[in-house]
Amino acid sequence: MKKTIAVLLVLMLSLIMLAGCKSNGVGDKGSAKLTGKYTAVSITENGTELDANALKEMGLEDMLSEMFIEIIDENNYILYMMGFEVEGQYKSEGYDLTLTAEGDIMEATVDGNKITIDHEGKKMVFERK
């Protein structure tokens, strides 16, 4: 009887531990969880961060809303930037994304509902709401 209880206890603890493992939606089979529209929330260039408040002070409050990335499916995305649209493909590995479009490669990371792209000295943070 003690052995049966011990085995059941080990199984229950194993299930609890597995249930506690949370996916961020990135990975070979979890990429579908990334799908959706991510709107820009900040841009950093040369150490200067421009968020919604900074842009509002400059009279450019609509700039961030015109910049977004849409993850279409497990391989494709569209990046919209101030009237321009670029279609591309992405690959995910852990929390890292490699975005490819028109010969350019951009590295990005995923943290919850945020995608951060570092490219040519600019850091752009997009958030899915």
The reported pLDDT for the residue numbered 120 is: 86
In whole angstroms, what is the distance from residue 115 CA to residue 106 CA?
A: 12
The reported pLDDT for the residue numbered 83 is: 84
Residue pair 94/81 in contact by the 8 Å Cβ criterion: no
Model confidence, pTM? 0.70
Domains of the chain in sequence order: 25-128 (2.40.128.270)
Residue pair 124/116 in contact by the 8 Å Cβ criterion: yes
Low-confidence ranges of the chain (pLDDT < 50): 1-30
- Mean pLDDT estimate for the chain: 76
